[in-house]
Amino acid sequence: MQKTIIAMLLGVLSATSVQAQTCPAVSSISQTPKDVGFLYKAPGGWEGESPNADEGDVKTFNFANALIKPNAVVCGYNGDNKSVVELTLEKAVTAAEDFHWQDGTCEGSDPAKCAFN
């Protein structure tokens, strides 16, 4: 009986554990023209725009940083021709432990090192 209860509790705890998330991979970002500039989206509700971008800039993006704001996380990408875009996920998050966060900011070239919950 005790083994059954322990097994059930472990199952509940593992089912409710929080999976760390990261900024979108560059390969998942889509670019759509607007009247001025472009709209950028990635799966999971990520959105951003850039009035100064050129068509095809998304192919040159590299992850640059992540910033935790109240009720949102913002991921920055830099590209060729000085193109810059920030994708925002409207969701309250916290920095994941044991990652490169300092005062709500994480910089680097690998979004996996800037995980959040």
Residue range 27-37: mean pLDDT, rounded: 94
For residues 38 and 52, give the distance between their C-alpha atoms in angstroms, rounded to a whole number: 8
- Alpha-carbon torsion (17, 103, 52, 71), positive or negative: positive
Strand, helix or coil for residue 55: coil
Residue 2 pLDDT:
53
Beta strands in 29-102 (DSSP E): 30-33, 38-42, 46-50, 62-69, 72-78, 84-89
Residue 7, pLDDT > 90, answer no
Tens of pLDDT, residue by residue over 62-106, are 999 999 999 999 999 998 877 889 999 999 999 998 788 999 999
Per cent of the chain over pLDDT 90 is: 67
